[in-house]
A and B are shown apart, each in its own frame.
Chain A
Amino acid sequence: MATSVTTRASGARSAPDAPVTARRSWFRSSAPTLTFLGRRLLSSAVVLLGATFIVYMLLAYALDPLEDLRTSTAPNKEALIEARVRALDLNTPPVLRYFKWLGGLFTGDLGTSWVSGASVTSLLGSAIPSTVQLVAASTLLAIGLGVLVGIVSALRQYTRFDYSVTFLSFVLYSLPSFWVAVLLKLWGAIGFNDFLADPHVPPLWIAIISVVSAVLWSSIIGGSTRTRWISAAAGLVGTAAVLLFISSTGWLLNPSLGLVGVLAIGVGIAFGVVALTAGLQNRRALYASLTTVAIGAALYYPLQYAFVGATTWLIVGLGVASVVIGLVVGRLFGGYDRAVSMRAAAITALGVGLLIYVDRVMAVWYAYSNASQINGRPIATIGSQTPGLSGDYWVETLDRFTHLLLPTIALILISFASYTRYSRASLLEVMNQDYIRTARAKGLSERVVTTRHAFRNALIPLATIVPLDIAALFGGAIITERIFAWSGMGALFIKSLGAKDADPVMGYFLVTGALLVLANIVVDFVYAALDPRIRVNS
């Protein structure tokens, strides 16, 4: 290993020292990488085979498919046992049965579930999309939120906010997921639905929530004592005003943003995005972003007509269009660093588009929650859709959303803590490095140092865990799926294991195991591509 040639995993070519044809030089520079990939794939395949063997053996000895027949009182008990033994090939030793299963694998046959008679391929085919739908959103949100909180916590190291986040993440680590999920069902769904019957927030609660938000904002924004008091006051007044408005108008029963809401929040987004990506002193970026907000507001009414016969593709198309509009506006404002304006305007445009979308979904809320199948209790606790509810695209979207809400919160609560800890540690390490001091010394603003120099490099270690988490995503959330009666991969596993049905369990493991092994290879290459100090050894 020590004497082998090293190369960049990204395939960056070393300058060919002799005049050779392009094809050969490409081969020479990427051959070690290819060899590495080949060896890695091979060893992973061996590991996966070994793991399937272990699981198969354990299943063969753990599960007794004849259990129900042994205690049955049927007159033809013997014949039934005989038939099942023949059907499941139980007289063959498990080791031989494993090789038969493996042989079937190569012909694309994953076996059948003897309980239901369905083929494992079809079971997986219906379970995977449902599980991805459940877990994808929560994984992305957990990564986003976790990184955000971790970074703020690192930037405010050794403050009360930092200590609170650390404590909170320890609590979240220690929470049993089944307990959280059942609590969420009670408070999140039943409690909130009861609250919706009479959505008035008592004044005491308004006061408590406002004070909490004041403390939170002042500790997040930090700075001098004066800034802290200003942000605390702003947080207090803002939260109290929003809560009073919601409480007094019954907004929760028939929510909408309206043109004014879209415009106000849009301007807020524009300022926030520009402050983070370009700095507010960059006037071009600010004007470009504000222009996209104006365009979005101008398109608000025309879009309502386009939304009537909406489909998923129309929405995706509109999302892409909003990004394009943002890019064009940013480019038209021009200036010496167009890219910055374009980026800020595009992000703002996407945000405004999202606002208009959310506003449209809110528009069906009243009709949805008063439908006979819903009966004023919109937050669902089980399943993935309301049975017997039919409606247009918007109603279906809202229905899916209300069903996804609680499991998503449960999953975020569980996985959020590790991302927070990880990104906090990684940013702290980066912030103590010499090039950060250099960047500060040459006069860059703290914003540029944090977002351009520190943040990007702090994300590199995260790139090594995210692929693994995405692979684990397909395994589903065994406990969450069970509590919320979601028929995904986790439910398939639990049901098959409970029914002594080995083949679907093997199918489940094959999918999760293979993805995990692949993700490990991806991690090696991503890491080498992002960090030039790491090289892939053949």
Chain B
Amino acid sequence: MSIQPPLEPHEGIVDPAENVENAIELKEVEGLSQGRIVLRRFVRHRGAMISAVVLTAVVLLVTTSIGWGPIPGWWQYGYKELNPIVNAGGAPTMGFDGGFTVGSHPFGQDNVGHDGFALVMRGTQQSLTVMVVIGLLSTTIGVVVGALAGFFRGRLDDLLMRFTDMIITIPVIMIGAILGVLVGGANPWSLAVALSLVSWTNMARLVRGQFLTLREREFVDAARVAGASSARIMFKHILPNAVGVIIVNATLLMASAILLETALSYLGFGISSPEVSLGQLINEYQTAFATRPWLFWWPGLFIVTIALCVNFIGDGLRDAFDPRQRRIPTRRALAKADARKARARAKATASA
């Protein structure tokens, strides 16, 4: 577990081309704070930016459409309402009918008249809740466990890491299913808390590795000499230096959390009826797949969209936080730059 500390210059022989490129990179970020540099790199990652926009749009749609808690909704149907069936078999009203129409039930209806759009919105709310709670809670647990183990080492480290090993030995979906049975399927919050209690292990290992390296650095000695307490050193001095690894892994953790929740709900051990989640919707309507495929399509598409966006954002963050990351120009861009240079040289020789 020896992860290179961030912003440590690369040792060994560096070839001149790399030096030049580094110089360009350095010139670009001169005078900027670490946060600015990261933000700038993230904004340049096209996939991550598109994903961020899409995810924001999804969250906005989900929160405002049927309302969430105090937020009022603008959609006319609730997810529990039984409405008269509009199209034959409850087929979606959205489509190209001489121009794009949305209609009253754009995602279709099920056999008793539930509005598909409202169901999917409600399911996405629940799945997003579980995802965010797992992301925040298990990151917190993982950071605390990893920080304690990496900072104090010795017996505490042994104890905590053996415990982490024990949890890792149990397959996530298995312990998730058992916990799902234990807390019951009525409440997404309790399910999320239960799942966080088992999904912090990777984070703890990574944070421990970071702390093991960082605690040997000079600034930690300086802080100690200045009389800082262990807690202050851990959370004020070391933790900010490990924040890149933590944020990236928290993002990837969230992506796997939404897949875990939907899988458990699909198996019937997560959120269950009458509460709604995306996995539970797929489970409930998979038998009606041949007759009402729209009930199956939309929840799945929302899962894929959310997981894909979160994964891409994680990838963008990883690139942004990685100090060794350089933007590699495409071959065409390189050729263009070369041509420009040649032209400039030709002009220079012509004018000389």
Q: Mark A residues whose CB is within 8 Å of B.
A: 43, 46-48, 50-51, 54-55, 58-59, 61-63, 158, 167, 170-171, 173-179, 182-183, 186, 190, 472, 475, 478-479, 482, 493-494, 497-498, 505, 508-509, 512-513, 516-517
Contact = CB atoms under 8 A, between A and B. Distances in A.
Given A47-B162, A58-B178, A176-B300, A494 B170 contact: no
Given A170-B311, A174-B304, 16 more contacts: A62-B181, A167-B47, A171-B308, A173-B307, A173-B311, A174-B259, A176-B266, A178-B263, A179-B282, A179-B300, A182-B289, A190-B290, A479-B267, A497-B177, A497-B181, A512-B174
Interface in B153-212: 162-163, 165-167, 169-171, 173-175, 177-179, 181-182
Interface in B288-318: 289-290, 293, 296, 300, 303-304, 307-308, 311-312, 315
A493 B221 CA distance: 52
B140 interface: no
A158 B269 CA distance: 43
A501 to B, nearest CB: 12
A54 B181 contact: no
A516 B279 contact: no
A43 B162 contact: yes
Binding site secondary structure of chain B:
helix
B328 interface: yes
Contacts of A54: 166-167, 170
Contacts of B173: 478-479
Nearest to A177: B263
B330 interface: yes
Contacts of B182: 58, 61-62
A508 B177 CA distance: 14
Contacts of B177: 493-494, 497
Nearest to B312: A170
B162 A46 contact: yes
A28 B351 CA distance: 79
B29 to A, nearest CB: 22
B296 A182 contact: yes
Contacts of A493: 174, 177
A509 B170 contact: yes
B308 A174 contact: yes
B255 interface: yes
Nearest to A47: B165
Nearest to A48: B169
Interface string B130-155: 00000000000000000000000000
Contact of A158 (B174, B268, B315, B328): B328
B27 interface: no
B63 interface: no
9 contacts: A50-B163, A54-B167, A58-B179, A170-B308, A176-B263, A178-B283, A182-B296, A479-B266, A505-B178
Contacts, number: 114
Contacts of A176: 259, 262-263, 266, 279, 282, 300, 303-304, 307
B347 interface: no
B313 to A, nearest CB: 11
B286 interface: yes
A58 B167 CA distance: 12
A478 B307 contact: no
B273 to A, nearest CB: 15
B256 to A, nearest CB: 9
B170 A55 contact: yes
A62 B300 contact: no
B267 A482 contact: yes
Nearest to A472: B171
A-B pairs with lowest CB-CB distance, top 9? A174-B307, A62-B182, A174-B308, A179-B300, A50-B166, A51-B169, A51-B166, A62-B181, A47-B165
Contacts of B165: 47
Contacts of B175: 55, 58
Given A50-B166, A478-B267, A186 B311 contact: no
Given A47-B165, A54-B167, A174-B255, A497 B178 contact: yes
B178 A171 contact: no
Contacts of A479: 173, 263, 266-267
A483 to B, nearest CB: 8
A173 B254 CA distance: 13
A65 to B, nearest CB: 12
A175 B311 CA distance: 11
Interface string B259-283: 1001100111100000000010011
Interface string B233-272: 0000000000000000000000100010011001111000
Contacts of B259: 174, 176
A498 B263 contact: no
A440 to B, nearest CB: 15
Contact of A63 (B181, B290, B315): B181
A498 B268 contact: yes
Contacts of A158: 328, 330-331
A478 B109 CA distance: 30
A153 to B, nearest CB: 15
B167 to A, nearest CB: 7
Given A62-B178, A182-B286, A182-B296, A516 B169 contact: yes
A175 B330 CA distance: 30
Nearest to B309: A174
A137 B179 CA distance: 32
B168 to A, nearest CB: 8
Nearest to A64: B181
A175 B312 contact: no
